[in-house]
Amino acid sequence: MIKRTLIVGNWKMNLSIAQASFLVSKLHKKIAGHRDIEVVLAPHTLALQPVSLQIDRRRFRLAAQNAYYKDEGAYTGEVSFTLLNDIVHYAIIGHSERRVYFNEDLDMIRDKVSACVRNQITPILCVGETSQEWSNGESKQVLHDQIVSALSDLTANEVAGMVIVYEPQWTITTFHGRPAKPDEVKSAVDFIRKQVSELYDDTAAKHLRVLYGGSVDEHSAGSYLRVEGCEGVLVGSASLNYQRFAAIVDSAYRKNRERADSDAKRQD
């Protein structure tokens, strides 16, 4: 099975409804549909419904940035995965900003992953270490703990269908980070897949899509997309600009064409 490259634009807490609509109209004109690339937009909750009515679902899919793990009940102000399952295909869970600013711990993230799957939404699970953990050489232990906990309620088949993003906090502009090097990304991507293989089996690890996210922009996306085993990117601020985001999608398209040409030459 050939996995489609996944490009996810996380708009975070930005754009009014009108601004979101304007951005979508620009993206429709700028980004062509590619069979081997899946483009996902993640507006804030208020914009999800109007954007869902505007997008061409043959070319774009939607993701929620967050949801509550209870399906329904007296939880004032919360939105559940149950309420989102006819709007979104994906949901971002465990993003570094949720972990840092909203104190989401391993148990909370595990419950959100389970609720996401229970409601037929594909989790985009973000994992990654802090600057301090990275400096202390604790990266692999942190990734191990985050993965084991988040996936603990899932079956092998459910894990095979989800997405995991390596999103180290020490690379994120919000936290004054520096860009990760491609070899650092490869090491983490390989480790994530190894953990899934050990927890479940090689089939789950093979079918799982592993992405990179950490201040990805139109200049760096190509180098990360060329990392073996990295099957897409999670984009933050660059996804708010249609030209920059379209350039990232173009990078994915060029990478896929290069790989297809290389495979064809080997077969000859």
Q: Please say whether the beta carbons of 153 and 113 come within 8 A.
A: yes
* Active-site residue identified among 38, 44, 95, 184: 95
Q: How far is CA 82 from CA 42, 74, 78, 97, 230, in A?
A: 17, 14, 11, 23, 30
Structure tokens at 143: 């990734």
Matching residue, tokens 């989800």: 162
Is 138 a known active-site residue?
Answer: no
Closest CA to 65 of 100, 92, 97: 92
165 three-state secondary structure: strand
Can 167 be counted among the known catalytic residues?
yes
Q: Note whether 216 and 248 are within 8 A (CB).
A: yes
Closest CA to 107 of 78, 145, 79: 145
Coil, strand or helix at 8:
strand
**218 half-sphere exposure, CB direction, 13 A CA radius:** 12
Please tell me which residue in 97, 167, 218, 231 is annotated as part of the active site.
167
Distances (CA, A) of 46 to 176, 253, 263: 29, 31, 44
Residues known to be catalytic: 95, 167
